[in-house]
Amino acid sequence: MNFKKIDTALTDLMERKNAAYGNAYADSFNELGLIYAFVEVNNKLQRIKALTMNPDIPDDGESIFDSYVDLRNYAELAISQMIEYETVSKETLEKYGLSDI
Protein backbone atom coordinates (compact mmCIF):
# COMPACT_ATOMS: atom_id res chain seq x y z
CA MET A 1 0.00 0.00 0.00
CA ASN A 2 1.35 3.39 -0.95
CA PHE A 3 0.30 5.53 2.01
CA LYS A 4 2.33 8.53 0.87
CA LYS A 5 0.54 8.57 -2.50
CA ILE A 6 -2.85 8.38 -0.78
CA ASP A 7 -1.82 11.09 1.68
CA THR A 8 -0.60 13.38 -1.10
CA ALA A 9 -3.74 12.90 -3.18
CA LEU A 10 -6.06 13.53 -0.23
CA THR A 11 -4.06 16.54 0.92
CA ASP A 12 -4.26 17.99 -2.61
CA LEU A 13 -8.02 17.43 -2.56
CA MET A 14 -8.36 19.15 0.80
CA GLU A 15 -6.31 22.13 -0.42
CA ARG A 16 -8.51 22.44 -3.52
CA LYS A 17 -11.65 22.34 -1.38
CA ASN A 18 -10.24 24.96 0.99
CA ALA A 19 -9.43 27.20 -1.96
CA ALA A 20 -12.97 26.76 -3.30
CA TYR A 21 -14.81 27.15 0.01
CA GLY A 22 -12.55 29.65 1.71
CA ASN A 23 -11.40 29.01 5.24
CA ALA A 24 -14.81 27.90 6.50
CA TYR A 25 -13.47 25.10 8.71
CA ALA A 26 -10.93 27.35 10.46
CA ASP A 27 -13.53 30.07 10.92
CA SER A 28 -15.99 27.66 12.51
CA PHE A 29 -13.26 26.08 14.64
CA ASN A 30 -12.23 29.55 15.79
CA GLU A 31 -15.81 30.27 16.82
CA LEU A 32 -16.76 26.91 18.38
CA GLY A 33 -13.46 25.18 19.21
CA LEU A 34 -13.01 21.44 19.48
CA ILE A 35 -16.75 20.84 19.66
CA TYR A 36 -16.92 21.86 16.00
CA ALA A 37 -14.28 19.27 15.10
CA PHE A 38 -16.16 16.64 17.07
CA VAL A 39 -19.46 17.42 15.33
CA GLU A 40 -17.93 17.22 11.85
CA VAL A 41 -16.18 13.91 12.61
CA ASN A 42 -19.25 12.49 14.32
CA ASN A 43 -21.47 13.39 11.35
CA LYS A 44 -19.14 11.47 9.04
CA LEU A 45 -18.99 8.51 11.43
CA GLN A 46 -22.79 8.40 11.55
CA ARG A 47 -22.95 8.46 7.75
CA ILE A 48 -20.38 5.66 7.50
CA LYS A 49 -22.33 3.66 10.06
CA ALA A 50 -25.59 4.15 8.16
CA LEU A 51 -24.06 3.16 4.83
CA THR A 52 -22.33 0.15 6.38
CA MET A 53 -25.36 -1.11 8.28
CA ASN A 54 -27.76 -0.47 5.38
CA PRO A 55 -25.86 -1.08 2.14
CA ASP A 56 -29.06 -0.85 0.08
CA ILE A 57 -29.86 2.75 1.00
CA PRO A 58 -29.00 5.31 -1.67
CA ASP A 59 -25.79 7.17 -0.99
CA ASP A 60 -27.10 10.41 -2.54
CA GLY A 61 -23.83 10.95 -4.38
CA GLU A 62 -21.59 10.54 -1.33
CA SER A 63 -20.27 7.00 -1.20
CA ILE A 64 -18.80 5.33 1.85
CA PHE A 65 -15.38 5.93 0.27
CA ASP A 66 -16.17 9.65 0.00
CA SER A 67 -17.18 9.66 3.65
CA TYR A 68 -13.90 8.06 4.74
CA VAL A 69 -11.98 10.64 2.68
CA ASP A 70 -13.92 13.42 4.40
CA LEU A 71 -13.32 11.81 7.79
CA ARG A 72 -9.58 11.76 7.17
CA ASN A 73 -9.59 15.37 6.05
CA TYR A 74 -11.69 16.56 8.99
CA ALA A 75 -9.26 14.86 11.35
CA GLU A 76 -6.31 16.57 9.67
CA LEU A 77 -8.08 19.93 9.79
CA ALA A 78 -8.75 19.47 13.51
CA ILE A 79 -5.11 18.55 14.12
CA SER A 80 -3.93 21.63 12.23
CA GLN A 81 -6.24 23.89 14.24
CA MET A 82 -5.14 22.34 17.53
CA ILE A 83 -1.53 23.05 16.56
CA GLU A 84 -2.36 26.59 15.43
CA TYR A 85 -4.18 27.36 18.69
CA GLU A 86 -1.34 25.74 20.66
CA THR A 87 -3.56 23.25 22.45
CA VAL A 88 -1.04 20.47 21.89
CA SER A 89 2.01 20.08 24.11
CA LYS A 90 5.52 20.33 22.69
CA GLU A 91 6.08 16.76 23.84
CA THR A 92 3.12 15.54 21.80
CA LEU A 93 4.28 17.44 18.74
CA GLU A 94 7.75 15.93 19.12
CA LYS A 95 6.21 12.46 19.50
CA TYR A 96 4.65 12.83 16.04
CA GLY A 97 7.59 14.58 14.42
CA LEU A 98 5.70 17.87 14.25
CA SER A 99 7.84 20.01 16.56
CA ASP A 100 9.12 22.13 13.68
CA ILE A 101 5.67 23.35 12.64
Q: pLDDT digit string (tens) for 19-71? A: 898 888 999 999 999 999 999 999 999 999 999 999 888 878 889 999 999 99
Q: Which amino acid is at 18?
A: N
Does 20 map to a domain?
A: yes
User: To 5 degrees, how large is the angle CA 32–CA 33–CA 34?
Assistant: 125
Please state the φ and ψ torsions of residue 60, each to the nearest 5 degrees.
Answer: 55, 35
Q: Which amino acid is at 85?
A: Y
User: How many domains does the chain contain in total?
Assistant: 1
- Give me the domain span that covers residue 70: 3-95
Does 36 map to a domain?
A: yes
Considering the chain, what percentage of its residues have pLDDT values greater than 90?
79
The pLDDT value given to residue 96:
95
Does 101 map to a domain?
A: no
